[in-house]
Chains A and B, each alone.
Chain A
Amino acid sequence: MRIGVLALQGAFREHQKILAECGVESTQIRKNTQLDGISALIIPGGESTTIGKLMNEFGLFEPITRMSEDGLPVFGTCAGLIMLAKEINGSRQARLNLMDISVERNAFGRQVDSFEADLDIPVLGTRPYRAVFIRAPYITSVGRSVQVLAKYEEKIVLARQGNFMAAAFHPELTADLRLHRYFIENCL
């Protein structure tokens, strides 16, 4: 099994490091020719406008959409969550439109409002999950087939829809492997 990590911009190496700690092989995806043979895709944190423009320029939207419709599991974190969304409030920026969620960008404020907090994520057990939110988005509404996995102060920050999972925070920046493991064990 080999998981592709979209490596156009952002914290892709951190995701690869965590996957390696989970004992899973990973590969960097910059061009559509590199998508062959991957078992899942991770879209990392970064700037969603930058990632969207580069995906467009290098022809990644069409093959990723097609593969996802054929069952390729996708996990998006922060900017990745935005890329997975159907609706981005107040924005027409490029997106994959794979999850029936509406998101608000920079929803907690600018960098001075970025924060760390303990989350209760029932599917990961009772131990709190330390989450890092950086100029983070959150999910403002979800469709009926979307499962809400965690909230922070009533805002939806982790959700799953079939093989797709989206986090508003950065599991790639902390040493806790549980969320990547959950994705590998349940979405693949």
Chain B
Amino acid sequence: MAEKGTWLVKKGLAEMLKGGVIMDVTTPEQAKIAEEAGACAVMALERVPADIRAAGGVARMAEPTVILKIMEAVTIPVMAKVRIGHFVEAQILESLGVDYIDESEVLTPADENHHINKNAFKVPFVCGARNLGEALRRIGEGAAMIRTKGEPGTGNVVEAVRHMRMVMGEMRRLQNMPKEELMAAAKEMGAPYELVLQVAETGSLPVVNFAAGGIATPADAALMMQLGCDGIFVGSGIFKSNEPAARAKAIVAATTHYSDPGMLAEVSKNLGEAMPGVEIATISPEYRMQDRGW
């Protein structure tokens, strides 16, 4: 008997995306450019985060025809975003047949207290996290893949670095704790005890962990890989740059050869201007996307 939507099947797709780059796209043409550049998946959106940030107002799930056209345009997996807590948007995306749902802080949250019960779905979910507690809460709700939140749409990698170092550091800390301290650690970080025990034993998350939020150059991608993530999401970094196709291809190559400086130098040449960056301190707290969700 075939069993669909099992944990292994949900988590398994993320395992297959490892070492790859998932690119934000808003049109079938962009999706084809991404696939041609070697993206291992695309994220179908109405606007990239930098434009969402500029437009203001309420950002919602993309219109279904936008997503369907992108699904028709490429053979690689297609992901799409729903608002935090908006389980009906997730039901709609599942019925469209998207391959992964991102319950994302890039969109305006629909629920200030509760994230989606992702265990109720057959389609797998990826969620953002700033620290280990947040990552384990999302996994407890059924997320089969985690990514850093970073600060989306900024072209500034500093927040993604902060979040990745935080998660990695906290995992090392748990690994070195005597067992009797793990319950207090679970309480402090607000994480399910069983998952805390598991991390303390293995020293790694039970699911794949990508970097996202502010990655704009091949060097940014390689930095995140060297810090220990499994793969890269690039949002505005590609289609807000001067030469998207060349930059996309270079970021893919840098993610594969992340520990080879000679190769990184080679792929970083002649890419034109990166997207304009934003200094995080200039973003007032109410416009910081990473503080959405808990």
Count B interface residues, CB 8 Å: 40
Count A interface residues, CB 8 Å: 39
User: Does residue A71 face the partner (Cβ distance < 8 Å to B)?
Assistant: no
User: Does residue B228 face the partner (Cβ distance < 8 Å to A)?
Assistant: no
Number of A-B contacts (CB under 8 A): 120
- Check B15–A14 contact: CB distance below 8 A: yes
Interface centre among B1, B35, B39, B99 (most CB of A within 10 A): B99
User: Does residue B6 face the partner (Cβ distance < 8 Å to A)?
Assistant: yes
User: Does residue A182 face the partner (Cβ distance < 8 Å to B)?
Assistant: no
- Check A30–B256 contact: CB distance below 8 A: yes
Interchain CA distance A54-B257 in the complex, whole Å: 10
- Check A47–B76 contact: CB distance below 8 A: yes
- Check A46–B16 contact: CB distance below 8 A: yes
Q: Which residues 74-97 of B have a CB within 8 angstroms of A?
A: 75-77, 94, 97
- Check B2–A111 contact: CB distance below 8 A: no
- Check B35–A134 contact: CB distance below 8 A: no
- Check B19–A12 contact: CB distance below 8 A: yes
Q: Which residues 80-129 of A have a CB within 8 angstroms of B?
A: 91, 105-106, 110-118
- Check A112–B16 contact: CB distance below 8 A: no
* Neighbour of B38 across the interface among A54, A91, A174, CB < 8 A: A54
**Shortest Cβ distance from A12 into B: residue:** B19
Q: Which residues 43-91 of A have a CB within 8 angstroms of B?
A: 45-47, 49-50, 53-54, 57, 78-79, 91
- Within 8 Å CB of B257, what residues of A? 30-31
* Neighbour of B124 across the interface among A105, A111, A116, A170, CB < 8 A: A111
- Within 8 Å CB of A53, what residues of B? 36-38, 252
- Check B256–A11 contact: CB distance below 8 A: no
- Check A79–B9 contact: CB distance below 8 A: no
- Check A10–B97 contact: CB distance below 8 A: no
Interface centre among B9, B36, B122 (most CB of A within 10 A): B9
Interchain CA distance A47-B177 in the complex, whole Å: 38
**Shortest Cβ distance from B40 into A: residue:** A47
User: Does residue A135 face the partner (Cβ distance < 8 Å to B)?
Assistant: yes
CB of A81 to closest CB in B, whole Å = 13
Q: Mark B24-67, 1 if CB is under 8 A from A, else 0.
A: 00000000000111111100000000000000000000000000
Interchain CA distance A114-B6 in the complex, whole Å: 9
Q: Which residues 253-293 of B have a CB within 8 angstroms of A?
A: 253, 255-257, 260
- Check A170–B12 contact: CB distance below 8 A: yes
- Check A115–B94 contact: CB distance below 8 A: no
User: Does residue B190 face the partner (Cβ distance < 8 Å to A)?
Assistant: no
- Check B256–A54 contact: CB distance below 8 A: yes
- Check A135–B13 contact: CB distance below 8 A: yes
